[in-house]
A and B are shown apart, each in its own frame.
Chain A
Amino acid sequence: MTKDEVAKVALLARLRLNDDDKGRYAQQLTSILDFIAQLGELDTEGVEPLAHGVDRTNVFREDKARPALDREDALANAPRRSAEGFLVPAVLD
């Protein structure tokens, strides 16, 4: 994995890395990917891909509404808030 690739993934994950970090993570991530790549040596001919680790399906909830959180509780952890909502730095479409 290159430093540029690390920089791209870091941007997507909103992580701020300096140049040394990028070099170090490039090395570490490369060895992790190499380790995982060993799985490729197995013969998976005729084996269905696994979509989920738990062997259960079709778990549903009944469509019943229950009371929402009190708005004050919902907004309690907001770093910034107004009377009615969460405030975030202006984002314009």
Chain B
Amino acid sequence: MSSETAKPYTMVVGLEVHVQLQTESKMFSWTGTEFGLPPNTLCDPVNLGLPGTLPVMNGKAFELALKTAIACGCTISKYTKWDRKNYFYPDLPKNYQISQYDLPFSLGGSLPIPADNEGNGGKTVRLTRIHLEEDTGKMVHTSGQESEVDLNRAGTPLLEIVSEPDIRSSVDARLCLEELRLTLRYLGVSDCEMQEGSLRCDANVNLHIDTPAGKIATPIVEIKNLNSFRSVERALNYEAERQYAKWKEDGLTIKDAPKETRGWSDPDGVTKLQREKETAADYRYFPEPDLLPVVVDDAWVARLKAEIGELPRERRERFEKAFGLSEYDANVLVEQGKDVADYFDAVVARTDQYKTASNWIQQDVLRTANAKGIRVADFPVAPETLADLISRVGRGELNTQQGREVLGKLIEADGTGDLEAIIEAGGYKMVSDEGPIREAIEAALAANPKAMEDLKTGKKKPDAIKGFLRGQVMKATGGKANPNLVGQLLDAMLSELGG
């Protein structure tokens, strides 16, 4: 929303996402699916397209696909079959890709996108369909007259998820992808590593422009080569500006020009026209005779539904309802990955200081984990220990500042520190006796006569002066004073002095 609303056009975006399923073996044959092995070390007679071989479907791949569709609220087809998409390109040696054309295993569905702090997201993107197919091999265009083909990836189970053109900004496109990745990771369907190609995204984009003659739409462009979340956002922004400038120049609309395919060049920050694509009819789809159809009954769907745990959007809702977190806080804890939300759950199961738990995990825990380059699942302080510490702060045994220092010591001790011993040794005990605090306030007032003067003359705001004095008192007491008590006593003493 933020900056897009000022533009003289509305960006209209639909995504087409390909996701490799987390299976041990390929879609229709038995070789493994590991990433990063030497070229052509994951070939078998089926994915080489050798004569006389027949594909047999991977049951787990089909179930992972079904789970995804169920989680996205898609309509599951009772009857689904496979089709051949025919084309000649060396990335698949059998000259066709096994895919799904007119009877995909699921249709419809949607993905709700959480809101961020800047007014983006907070809407639902409808899905057109999800279907299964096999991945292709990789072409390496070496210099010279030849290209090298690596068929390791050929035949890896691939889910194609197509959205409706419901997205209206580049930020929303990124948020949509992030939510999709989070959901797929929760489901254990895919690791969604964009840099390893296990999640790939193409975007269809055009503009709606209000003109005196009515609303017009620019020709649709499909952007390819989007290999990071950032490049999705950058490419869409670039492409929108390009389309707007082009429309101002030639006035061509969706009715005058066909859809074109452009590739995103990350280093140049531009999209470039790609070769003309064969149209859908040219793929000469026909039913794959080598594979049998699949019938999905209600019992199967019910069993898979039961296996699906809490989804990210359900978890956010629970965090808001059960622990009183704001939508923003709930989202930060959930979007950082399952292990962060699991850690939060483990802490709040043992303390009722939910808000403090949320704050400390978002700040101290995440910052330390990022700095150390570790997952929160491997965080050196056990959730039980953090819960104990937070409870002590909640009971007033330590103040917040002391609590944070203790957490710092626990992190330094790398999991070997004993909470009780650290508190004892550091003298981390909040001082709630009025005597010493009064003395500290008097000392602070005596040392800073100018503060009192400013207060009387109204030269500075009372809150600023009080804040300064409170800081002096906390410093004088070694950070141990009960901050609430300091505030109360300070107010009382200042009003006695007529401030």
- Residues on A lying within 8 angstroms of B by beta carbon are 12, 14, 51-54, 56-69, 71, 74-75, 80, 82, 84-93
Would you give the shortest CB distance from B45 to chain A, in whole angstroms?
Answer: 7
How far does the alpha carbon of A47 sit from the alpha carbon of B365 in the complex, in Å? Answer: 63
Q: Which residues of B contact A52 (CB under 8 A)?
A: 81, 287, 289, 292-293
Contact (Cβ within 8 A) A57 B293: yes
The stretch among B32-40, B251-259, B467-475 that forms the contact with chain A is: B32-40
> Would you give the shortest CB distance from B30 to chain A, in whole angstroms?
4
- A12-B282, A14-B88, A68-B44 as given contacts; A85 in contact with B39, CB under 8 Å: yes
> In the complex, A82 Cα to B282 Cα: how many Å?
32
How close is B44's CB to chain A, nearest CB, in angstroms? 6
Q: How many residues of B contact A (CB 8 A)?
A: 53
Partner of A60, one of B30, B44, B59, B274: B59
Q: Do residues A68 and B42 form an inter-chain contact, with CB atoms below 8 A? A: yes
Tell me the smallest distance from the CB of B196 to a CB of chain A, in Å.
18
Whether the Cβ atoms of A75 and B30 lie closer than 8 Å is no
Q: Counting CB contacts under 8 A, is B284 at the interface?
A: yes
Cα distance A65–B41 in the bound complex, in angstroms: 13
Contact between A89 and B146 (Cβ–Cβ < 8 Å)? Answer: yes
Q: Are A60 and B62 in contact (CB under 8 A)?
A: yes
- Residues of B that sit less than 8 Å from A by CB: 23-25, 30-33, 38-45, 48, 56-62, 79, 81, 86, 88-90, 103, 139-141, 144-151, 263, 274-275, 278, 282, 284, 287, 289, 292-295
A67 to B42, CA, bound (A): 8
Q: Knowing A52-B289, A91-B90 touch, does A69 contact B45 (C-beta < 8 A)? A: yes
Knowing A65-B25, A74-B40 are in contact, say whether A91-B139 is a contact too (CB < 8 A): yes
Residues in B neighbouring A68, C-beta threshold 8 A: 31-32, 41-44
Residue of A nearest to B61 (CB): A63
- The answer to whether B45 touches A90 (Cβ under 8 A) is no
Contact of A59 among B41, B57, B289 (CB under 8 A): B57
Inter-chain contacts of B30 with A (CB < 8 A): 61, 64-66
Bound: A10/B56 CA distance, A = 31
Closest to B41 in A: A71
Task: Write the nearest CB–CB distance from A7 to chain B, whole angstroms.
Answer: 13
A58-B294, A74-B43, A90-B141 as given contacts; A85 in contact with B150, CB under 8 Å: yes
